[in-house]
């Protein structure tokens, strides 16, 4: 067997170990156009709508890159939690989502998520994710609504960015992509190698 074929097969086998069939299925189901018939499995419809708006503020659409809504990141995160996370983690995330929804409605004085604007959501994100270190340290050591919301939004941001980078469109059209890894060049300038783009997974 040629060295290139051996490396290709090794890479595919490692990928098969790290990316379970469930995750691959989720990635395929969430890529492409929005799925209007999607029903959340973990979140209720109001929570899913609020999470979608929150992710859209974190990862907005630009002129040349789709945003969180177009990439169906909420659908991916909901499916990932349902099919990959353990039952205790599912319960914990669900409880945090419920708290984020109820406190956001109360703070904004709005009964429905559909009445909330992206500016409303941005103000909530700024309060938690732009807080100073002393405030974050305080939330880390207490059991309060603010601590709960901070933990949820911090986790949601992390999950959203990971899902964004794993999406098919971003992986193939935005990041540097090679379906079959080839030569190893060694120390080379990133701009020379990929035009300044990070490599896709």
- Using CA atoms, how far residue 58 sits from 23, 29, 52, 140, 182, in Å, is 23, 22, 10, 22, 34
Distance CA 86, CA 47 (A): 20
Q: What are the extents of the domains in the chain?
A: 3-194
| Range with top average pLDDT, 16-30, 126-140, 181-195 | 126-140
Distance CA 82, CA 86 (A): 8
Q: What is the pLDDT of residues 150-184, one digit of tens each?
A: 999 999 999 999 999 888 888 788 777 777 766 67
Q: Is 200 left (phi over 0), alpha (psi -120 to 50) or beta?
A: beta
Distance CA 72, CA 35 (A): 8
Distance CA 32, CA 183 (A): 31
CB of 125 within 8 A of CB of 153? yes
Q: 176 - beta bridge partners?
A: 199
For the entire predicted model, the pTM comes to 0.75
What is the four-CA torsion angle of 193, 194, 197, 198, rounded to 10 degrees?
Answer: -60
Per-residue pLDDT, averaged over 37-63, amounts to 93
The radius of gyration computed from the CA coordinates of the chain, to the nearest angstrom, equals 20
Whether residue 51 is predicted with pLDDT greater than 90 in this model: the reply is yes
> What percentage of the chain exceeds 90 in pLDDT?
60
HSE, side-chain direction, 13 A CA sphere, residue 139:
19
Whether residue 24 is predicted with pLDDT greater than 60 in this model: the reply is no
pLDDT, residue 81, reads 93
Whether residue 32 is predicted with pLDDT greater than 70 in this model: the reply is no
> What percentage of the chain exceeds 70 in pLDDT?
78
Report the 10 Å Cβ neighbour count for 5: 9
């Amino acid at each position: 067997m040629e060295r290139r074929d051996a490396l290709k097969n090794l890479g595919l086998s490692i990928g098969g170990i790290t990316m379970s069939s469930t995750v691959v299925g989720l990635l395929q189901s969430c890529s492409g156009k929005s799925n209007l018939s999607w029903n959340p499995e973990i979140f209720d419809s109001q929570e899913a709508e609020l999470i979608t708006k929150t992710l859209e503020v974190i990862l907005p659409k630009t002129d040349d890159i789709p945003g969180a809504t177009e990439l169906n990141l909420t659908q991916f995160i909901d499916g990932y939690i349902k099919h990959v996370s353990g039952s205790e983690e599912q319960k914990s995330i669900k409880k945090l989502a419920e708290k984020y929804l109820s406190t956001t409605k109360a703070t904004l004085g709005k009964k429905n998520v559909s009445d909330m604007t992206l500016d409303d959501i941005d103000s909530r994100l700024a309060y938690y994710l732009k807080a100073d270190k002393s405030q974050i340290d305080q939330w880390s050591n207490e059991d309060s609504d603010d601590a709960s919301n901070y933990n949820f939004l911090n986790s949601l941001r992390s999950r959203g960015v990971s899902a964004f980078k794993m999406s098919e469109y971003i992986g193939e059209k935005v990041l540097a992509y090679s379906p079959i890894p080839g030569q190893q060049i060694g120390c080379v300038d990133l701009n020379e190698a990929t035009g300044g783009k990070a490599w896709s997974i």
